[in-house]
Amino acid sequence: MEFRRTHYTTQITPQMDTQTARLAGWVHEIRDLGGIMFLILRDREGLTQVTLFKKTIDPDVLQIAKSLSRESVITIEGVVKKEPKAPNGYELIPTQIDILNPAQSPLPMDTTGKVDAELDTRLDNRFMDVRRPKTQAVFRIRHHMLSAVRGFLEQEGFIEITTPKVVATATEGGTALFPITYFDTEAFLNQSPQLFKQIMMSGGMDRVFEIGAIFRAEEHDTRRHLNEATSIDVEASFVDHEDVMQVLERLVAHVYLTVSEDAASSLNTLGIELNIPELPFKRLTYDEAIEVNNEHSKELLEWGDDLSTNAEKVIGEVIGAHYFIKDWPTEIKPYYTQPYEDEPVITKAFDLMHPRMELSSGAQRIHDYDLLRKRIQDQGLNPDGFEFYLKAFRYGIPPHSGWGLGAERLLMTMLDVDNIRDVVLFPRDRKRVSP
């Protein structure tokens, strides 16, 4: 049959009463109530009620309607009728129904939300799960979130770059790497674009950002960790850590505001009203964070300890809003973070925290070649393996700072989602590599 795409109605309103419209989508629900039959058609704009009065409807149209299975793909042409009791204030009285592709029965899962499904069932059948309005709303919001990020950073003078995901050297050291066979040598999936975005500071591209995949071979099995995630990274020259902290907090507030405006219908589907974070975010030093934890928790921390999940929870409950932890011990931060000149045991590093979890980490970076090489050695790494990176520091690299922000964590805290897998289309964790 001919698929007349140009003739389809993009959106119907009650003001189109008595006009003819043509829609395409999926059969969301079928209700046969004797003398009247309802089809609920689902398309990208939402749900449309299609009403068939059996005494007056064309018998051929009625017969096609009775043969439909849920989730079949169809087109419907009909007359718009204003109806305050119907969803969106109108219904469609069909004059023609065409079946483009019938769906098999039974379905692998319910798409109406009336029958819930386990997370594994949903992920195994993600193509079907995304047909559920609430699931699709999450990913429409994700689109608007990333669009807002790009728009904000472009306005701030950043340009978007793309860095390799196959690398020869660990970005941050450690063993959390996925090795791969790369022709006749070993390579790894990249943990972060960190080294490459710093190299661009040497190249004179003094404000860059990237939104891309990162890989961590950590055997986590939690609600907030994945082995493949999306990181929003920035790097900027001639600025310190305080400058990029301000960029970060303004970005987060901008994203909340933009999403609340541009994704209002999707937020409404989820029953969410966003509260725009107030600026500036509170700033705690690492020492102050340890004090807050030790005052309110039985799990005491000593200076030099990293913050545990419990400590993050305790401090988050006390602060109750987005906040920064800054001025960390040098030895527990990556080799590329810049120590204070007058107190080298403290580094110009920071973490952005939501009351539920860490969202971002950043710092002013070391730009001195000799100090950077020494810090790599101090952390038990071989500087020779970082030669491609260190080379950029020999020929004039300016002071620079940056951060990496977890896109999934930003979205899940924004929407108060409990499991990070609910904000990733096809999540990758230690148990799942398909679909």
> Does any domain span residue 200?
yes
**Which pLDDT value is given to residue 172?**
64
Which pLDDT tens digit goes with each residue over 141-155?
999 999 999 999 999
| Residues 159, 32 share a domain | no
If asked whether residues 28 and 177 sit together in one domain, one would say no
Cα-based distances in Å from 384 to 21, 168, 186, 242, 421 = 67, 12, 16, 32, 38
- 144 carries an active-site annotation: no
* Catalytic hit among 42, 216, 254, 375: 216
Residues 175-187: tens digit of each pLDDT: 689 999 999 999 9
C-alpha–C-alpha distance, residues 127 and 293, integer Å: 43
Q: Which of 81, 101, 121 is the last residue of a domain?
A: 101
42/150 same-domain check: no
* 358 is annotated as an active-site residue: yes
Q: What is the mean pLDDT of the chain?
A: 95
- The answer to whether the pTM exceeds 0.85 is yes
- Choose the catalytic residue: 210, 361, 365, 408: 361
Q: Is 365 annotated in the active site? A: no
Number of domains observed in the structure of the chain = 2
Residue range of the domain that includes 383:
129-281+321-423
In a domain, 412, yes or no: yes
Catalytic residue among 29, 83, 291, 358: 358
Please tell me the predicted confidence (pLDDT) of residue 173: 62
The answer to whether residue 122 is domain-embedded is: no
One domain for residues 53 and 172: no
Q: Are residues 75 and 191 in the same domain?
A: no
Torsion angle of the four alpha carbons 74, 77, 80, 85, in this order, in degrees rounded to the nearest 10? -30
Give the chain's length.
Answer: 435
Which of the residues 218, 228, 242, 288 is marked catalytic?
Answer: 218
- What is the sign of the dihedral through the CA atoms of 117, 122, 125 and 126? positive
What pLDDT, on a 0 to 100 scale, did the predictor assign at position 175? 61
pLDDT beneath 50, residues of the chain: 1, 6
User: Of 22, 126, 140, 225, which residue is the catalytic one?
Assistant: 225
> Which residues sit opposite 80 in a β-bridge?
92
Q: Are residues 92 and 165 in the same domain?
A: no
Whichever domain contains 63, its CATH number is 2.40.50.140
Residue 260 appears among annotated catalytic residues: no
Distance (Å, whole) CA 156 – CA 152 = 6
Residues 43 and 159 in one domain: no
Residue 218 falls in the annotated catalytic set: yes
From the list 122, 142, 144, 224, the catalytic residue is: 224
pLDDT in the model for residue 96? 97
